[in-house]
Amino acid sequence: MADMSVDFCGVKFKNPLIIASLETTNSPDLMRQCFDYGASGAIIKTLTDIEDMARLTQNSKYCVMNSKGDIIRGKAARDFVFYSRSGYSSTYYKDWIPDLIETQKYAAERGAHLIGSAGAKDVNGWKDICRTIEDCGLPMVELNFGCPHPAMMPGVHGGSMIGQEPEVAFEVTRQVCEAVDIPVVVKLTPDQAKPLEVAEAAKNAGAAAVTAINRYTGFVVDIDTGQPRIGGPAGIGGTWVKPLSLRWVHRIHEELGIPISGSNGIFDHRDVIEFIMAGANVVQVGSILMVKGLKWLPKMIDGVEAFMDEHGYETVEDMIGLASKKSVKDYSEQFSKNRIHAVVNDEKCKNPTCNICIQVCFYEALSQTQNGTVEVHENNCIGCELCLDVCPFDAITMNETSPQQLDAGFFNIPEDVFEKDKFQTARNNMETIRENSPKFNKEPAE
């Protein structure tokens, strides 16, 4: 059986799944439920001294949509969009002290950890909140430089506004790291062009890790009413954003080498594995629990363990950064890879009933014969793999092009790069397909 434990910033977690800082961690009872369901850690909803951010939580709004932008009105599918507006903890941070102590004790009895989260008015507030968290026995604190909502609150400076300025992020992180002895994690915002610079600033300031990445700020419209959803701009997440989140996990892992808590875009255990293989040491789950309930958590944990057993991974460490290590650093490395070309298995292919591969081949590398098969024109096939992706019958494979095949005329990049005498787009024209298809043309092939 796979070992699910992982070391993150010197703290051992029994599995890589941590509950993100949101409504599911806004009360001691909810956090106890998280630990009962198997979470290895839970990050409390951000503790604050900012009254307006507490008031915002008391006026929270949520909107869960499907891929068409309609309210789901039922179970959330994998492609859900979570659009919401919420603030920080609605309880003043000093009033949390007895509950922090008791909840951390409850977590420890179950081999888990309660993790702090801070968001303050000024640097002295940041330090005081983090000291309070440390004094209550919590083993780690996350600085919320990622929350998109302070920017919409008049007079509030915090969250993503700090996370967009490397110099400000550096100074707040530095002072907090000097004020406490527990590991400090900085939560990054994607609402900017500098997540990598802010991550580097946080690392240089003494942060033990970063969280990549918080939610984007979005704007959603209900076209039936002409009104904005939930009144206007809000934070947006859901599985659609996963590739964008993974981009930053990958880059931070490869370019900075700092430990990462992955976040934003997770539905089930497969997404957790993706974040780990991109470079995350642990993974935060949040939005999915808001729409599925806490009972979804053990399914995710069990799914990760089953995946590891099935694929022969003995430890989580075996998977961390696995895909990132295999990734090209830039496109020039991709250009140096060996050429490939499409091969069609006529026995599996359902042509002429199906011809989607021909329709989407914009390099004129596929055509339909009058015998009802798909022909590959290797001199045009650049190996883009689009036909492979759209084929519903697993009838296409991509084979490596040998030197002998390249000499015989298979597609290769011209020496002068720029192509001449570009081919005419005729083969994927529907009139041509119908003309050559025995499905439409009843005349026997000559």
Residues 6+ apart with CB under 8 A from 235: 83, 84, 85, 86, 147, 148, 149, 214, 215, 216, 217, 218
Q: Is 265 left (phi over 0), alpha (psi -120 to 50) or beta?
A: left
> Rounded distance, CA 412 to CA 108, Å?
60
> Rounded distance, CA 255 to CA 109, Å?
37
> Rounded distance, CA 78 to CA 214, Å?
19
Contact call for residues 410 and 401 (beta carbons, < 8 A) = yes
Report how far apart, in Å, the C-alpha atoms of 329 and of each of 243, 320, 323 are: 17, 18, 12
Of these residues, 147, 357, 361, 387, which one is catalytic?
147
> Rounded distance, CA 341 to CA 97, Å?
63
State how beta strands 61-65 and 374-376 pair. unpaired
In the annotation, is 147 catalytic?
yes
Catalytic residues: 147
